[in-house]
Amino acid sequence: MIAALNDQTTGLSHAIAAVAAATGSSMPPIPQTQVFDADITLAVAEKLHFPTYPCVYVWMEKAVNKQTEFGALFSGTMQVIAQVRVTADKLPGLARITANYGDAIANVLKARAGDWGNGLLFGGAFEQRMYSARAGGRGAVQACSVILDLDASE
């Protein structure tokens, strides 16, 4: 998933520019160095590595081995999350811009529905979840997660 987000031609930078143009929003790009493969709380992230916002964290939330394929070591689903975190010094507009970044992530992933290789298949369905703003960053930080289930077989 990180490779898809960091793709130079069809990844997150391209999707952010498209959403910004469609909504008339100012949305700085998210450099590859700000896309992390970790599940880190806001408090821990700010204490350990002082992220530059906006940033994206990608992690696997859970794996369920349903044993749907005879003889496979694993056959089931994996829930994967890509969460964007955005900061602002004022709350008005923070939720909208955070949702716009979430839409950009969703657009990248929707465009890649299908076989991801290595036994992973993404059907295209996802959930997008907004979280309340919290103190952090330049004043407040808000997050939006794009949650998807991958069919997996090994």
So what's the pLDDT on residue 106? Answer: 97
The yes/no answer on whether domain 2-153 falls in CATH 3.30.2000 is: yes
Please name the amino acid found at residue 29. P
So what's the pLDDT on residue 45? Answer: 85
CA distance 152 to 123: 11
So what's the pLDDT on residue 97? Answer: 97
Share of the chain above pLDDT 90, in %: 81
Lowest mean pLDDT among 3-17, 27-41, 46-60: 46-60
Mean pLDDT of 33-48: 88
The reported pTM is: 0.92
Q: Quick one: DSSP state of residue 52?
A: P
Contact 74, 65 (CB under 8 A): yes
Share of the chain above pLDDT 70, in %: 100
So what's the pLDDT on residue 34? Answer: 93
Kindly report, residue by residue over 48-80, the tens digit of the pLDDT: 877 789 999 999 999 999 888 888 889 999 999
Please name the amino acid found at residue 124. G
Kindly report, residue by residue over 98-135, the tens digit of the pLDDT: 999 999 999 999 999 999 999 999 999 999 999 999 99
CA distance 146 to 28: 19
So what's the pLDDT on residue 3? Answer: 92
